[in-house]
Amino acid sequence: MGYSSQGRKPIERASKISHAEVINSPAVKEFVARCMMPTRSSGSELGPLLLRLDDDVDTSDVRAVIAIDGGFTEAPVRDEFPFASIAFYTFGPLLLEMADLRDVEQKRFIAPEDIAKLKRLERYNFVLPLRGIRLSDARSLSETVRRSIYEFFCERKGPEQETLIETLAWFLFRKWDPSREPQRQELEWCPNEDCAQQKIQFDRDSPHEISCLGCGRSVYLTDVFRLHERVDEEQGSAAIAAYVMGVLEQMVLVHLIKSVLEIKPSLLGQILFIKDGPLAFFGLVAPLCRPMRELTTYLLTRSADGASSRLRVVGLEKSGAFVEHARAIQESVPPGSFLICSNEYIYRYIVPGDSLTAIYGSNTYYGQKVIFRARTGEMHVATIPSVEYSAAPSQQDIPFLAETLTLVGALRCSMYENALVPIALVNKLVSLSDFPSQRILTTFARNALREK
C-alpha cells in the first residue's frame, strides 16, 4: 500500500512493471490452471428443467399481502479528525388488501385516495452509531452498539405495545411449539471488553438482560446476533450496518407471524408475506437460519386450531448472481414457466462450488430458490420455504408454490423492471435518499450531537 498525501508532497504511485513478476511466477501459473468457473448457460439445457404454471391456480384464500422492506443511510457528523458518523434506519411492514389492489387495477384513473388506502405502513426507526460516537454512559463503541440494539428491541410498538425482544425470545427458544424440550442459547464469550468469561447461557425463563459472572456487566439476549464481534473501536461499526438491516427485517417478519398466531392462527392462511431480498441470514447472524427453518417447517406441516396453518412467505431478489442469471436465460424461459434451482444447477451455472460436497445455502437459507417468468414476461428470483431444505427439491416439496408464483405474477408493477406493487410501495415509504434525506439527517445529527 503506497503512501498517501496530506500536504504538498505527492502520493506514492504503484510500480508499472511489477506485474511481470506475477505473470512469470510458476506458483501463480499452477494455481490459476487449477481454477474453474461456472458454465455459461446457453438456454438449451433448460428444457427438461422447466415447469409450467397452471392457468387456473386458485388464489382466493389470500386476502392480504404484507410486504417488508427497509433502508438506512449514513450521516457524517464530523468530516475532520476525529471522524464521526451515525446511521439512521427506517423499515417496517406494509399491509395491502387484495380487494383494494383489484379495485385500483380496474379503475381507469387512480385518485390519490385510492393510493392512500394501500399505504398502511407500521414504521420502525432506529439509530446506530458507526464511528467516533458512543452513548454518554457506555464505555466504548462496541457497548454502545450492543445497548442501542437491545434498547430498540425493548421499545414497545403498535397498539398492543409489543416488543421485538419478546419476539426474539419466542423465536430463539422455539416457544411456538410447547411440546419441545426447553431450548438454550449460549454465547461462547462474554461480549464485554476485557472479560474472558466463557459459556454464557440464556434459557427459556431467563431475563433478557443478565449479568456476566466474570465481569458483572450486562449481557443482552440480542448479543446472540454477535454483531459486536465486527465492531472495531478505531475503524467503527460500518461493517455491520447491512447485517443490522437484514436482522431487523427478518425479526419484523417473525414478529408478524407470532402476532397472527396469537390473534387467530387460521388468519395465517389468508396472508402472503413478501420480503424484499432472499429468505436467508448471512454472515455473523447465519446461525439464525436454523430456528427460522424450524419455524417455517413447523407452520407448513402442523395444524393450528384444527386447520392447517398454511404459511405463505416469499423473498424476492432485485440484484445478485441469481438475478443476473435469470436475466441471461430470460429468452429461453417461456412466460408462465418456472425453474426450481437444484444444488447441481446452482453450482454448475450460477456460483462456483462442488455440488457433491456442499448444499448451497444449507447454513444460510430457509427457502428454496425458484426462477419464475410471469405470464406478462417479468422475471423473478424467489425464495420459498420448503418442508425440508433439499439439494434437489421438487414441486411437491414446496407447499403453495404455484399459488405463491401466481400471486407474484398478479402483483406486477409497470413502473420499474420486474417490480411488484407491494415492494415498490413499501420501498418508496421507507427508503432514504442521498438527497435530500441524507443531507437533512446529517444536519440534524450535527446539531443534536455534542462533543465530549
The closest alpha carbon to 41, from 341, 335, 280, 277, belongs to: 341
Q: Is residue 412 part of a domain?
A: yes
Q: Is there a single domain that holds both residue 396 and residue 328?
A: yes
Note whether 49 and 334 are within 8 A (CB): no
What string of DSSP letters covers 346-359?
Answer: HHHHTS---TTT--
Q: Is residue 177 part of a domain?
A: yes
- Give the count of beta carbons closer than 10 Å to the beta carbon of residue 449: 15
Q: Is there a single domain that holds both residue 416 and residue 338?
A: yes
Q: Is residue 162 part of a domain?
A: yes
Note whether 191 and 227 are within 8 A (CB): no
**Domain containing residue 148:** 133-235
Q: Is there a single domain that holds both residue 50 and residue 170?
A: no
Note whether 315 and 278 are within 8 A (CB): yes
| Overall average pLDDT of the 20-28 stretch | 90
The SS3 assignment for 93 reads strand
- Report d(CA 333, CA 367) in Å as an integer: 22
Q: Is there a single domain that holds both residue 100 and residue 187?
A: no
pLDDT at residue 403 in the model? 95
Q: Is there a single domain that holds both residue 212 and residue 299?
A: no
pLDDT at 209 over 70: yes
Q: Is residue 263 part of a domain?
A: yes
- Report d(CA 163, CA 416) in Å as an integer: 35
Per-residue burial over 415-439, b = 16 or more CB atoms within 10 Å of its CB, e = otherwise? eeebbbbbbbbbbebbebeeeebbe
Domain total in the chain: 2
Q: Is there a single domain that holds both residue 149 and residue 208?
A: yes
- Report d(CA 119, CA 94) in Å as an integer: 7
Q: Is there a single domain that holds both residue 107 and residue 222?
A: no
Note whether 246 and 254 are within 8 A (CB): no
- Report d(CA 89, CA 92) in Å as an integer: 10
> Helices (DSSP H) in 209-365: which residue ranges?
241-263, 289-301, 321-329, 343-349
**Tens-digit pLDDT profile for residues 338-387:** 999 999 999 999 999 888 888 999 999 999 999 999 999 999 999 999 99
Q: Is residue 354 part of a domain?
A: yes
Q: Is there a single domain that holds both residue 365 and residue 264?
A: yes
**Tens-digit pLDDT profile for residues 227-263:** 999 999 999 999 999 999 999 999 999 999 999 999 8
- Report d(CA 144, CA 220) in Å as an integer: 12
pLDDT class of 316 with cuts at 50, 70, 90: very high
Q: Is there a single domain that holds both residue 103 and residue 216?
A: no
pLDDT at 115 over 70: no
Domain boundary at 205, 235, 265, which? 235
Q: Is residue 13 part of a domain?
A: no
pTM, two decimals, is: 0.89
Q: Is there a single domain that holds both residue 138 and residue 120?
A: no
Q: What residues pair up with 28 in beta bridges, in sequence order?
A: none
Helix, strand, coil shares of the chain as percentages rounded to 5?
Answer: 40, 20, 40
Q: Is residue 314 part of a domain?
A: yes
**Tens-digit pLDDT profile for residues 120-175:** 668 899 999 999 999 999 999 999 999 999 999 999 987 678 899 999 999 999 99
What lies within 8 Å, CB to CB, of 66 at 6+ separation is 93, 94, 95, 96, 256, 271, 272, 273, 274, 422
Note whether 72 and 87 are within 8 A (CB): yes
pLDDT class of 9 with cuts at 50, 70, 90: confident
Domain boundary at 183, 212, 235, which? 235
The closest alpha carbon to 62, from 91, 92, 101, 36, belongs to: 101
pLDDT at residue 18 in the model? 82
pLDDT at 108 over 50: no
pLDDT at 414 over 80: no
Q: Is there a single domain that holds both residue 168 and residue 195?
A: yes
Q: Is residue 34 part of a domain?
A: no
pLDDT at residue 447 in the model? 84
The closest alpha carbon to 403, from 395, 392, 391, belongs to: 395
What lies within 8 Å, CB to CB, of 286 at 6+ separation is 363, 364
Please state, in angstroms and as integers, the Cα–Cα distance from residue 114 to each residue in 100, 108, 117, 147, 412, following that order: 8, 12, 5, 41, 17
In the numeric block, the cell 464521526 is attached to: 84
Q: Is there a single domain that holds both residue 103 and residue 228?
A: no
pLDDT at residue 306 in the model? 45
| Overall average pLDDT of the 393-404 stretch | 94
Task: Quote the percentage of the chain above a pLDDT of 70.
Answer: 90
Question: For residue 436, what is the DSSP state?
Answer: I
pLDDT at 27 over 60: yes
Note whether 309 and 269 are within 8 A (CB): yes
What count of residues does the chain have?
Answer: 452
Retrieve residue 110's grid coordinates: 387512480
pLDDT at 116 over 60: no
